[in-house]
Amino acid sequence: MMMGPRLRKLALTAHVACSVGSVGAVAACLVLAATGLTSQDSRTVRAAYLAMDLTTRLVIGPVLLASLLAGVIQSLGTTWGLFRHHWVVAKLLLTLLVLVVLSLQLDLIAYLADMATQNMLSSADRRGLRSSPVIHAAGGLVALLVPVALSVYKPRGMTRYGWRKHHEQPRTSLRSPETGS
Cα separation of 10 and 173, whole Å?
25
- Piece in contact with another protein (CB under 8 A), picked from 11-19, 32-40, 53-61, 102-110: 102-110
Interface with another protein, residue 173, by CB under 8 A: no
- Closest to another protein by CB, 9 vs 156, is 156
Interaction mask 119-148, another protein, x per CB under 8 A: -x--x----xx-xx---x--x------x--
Cα separations (Å) of 83 from 16, 106, 162? 20, 30, 7
Interface with another protein, residue 181, by CB under 8 A: no
Contact predicate 75/148, CB 8 Å: no
For another protein, which residue of 4, 40, 118, 173 counts as binding (CB under 8 A)? 118
Residue type, position 42, single letter: S
Site for another protein in 68-97 (CB under 8 A): 86-87, 90, 93-94, 97
Exposed / middle / buried, residue 125 (Cβ in 10 Å: 0-12, 13-18, 19+): exposed
Contact predicate 84/158, CB 8 Å: yes
Interface with another protein, residue 170, by CB under 8 A: no
C-beta neighbour count of 76 within 10 angstroms: 14
**Positions in the binding site for another protein (CB under 8 A):** 86-87, 90, 93-94, 97, 101, 104-105, 107-108, 110-111, 114-115, 118, 120, 123, 128-129, 131-132, 136, 139, 146, 155-157, 159-160, 163-164, 167-168
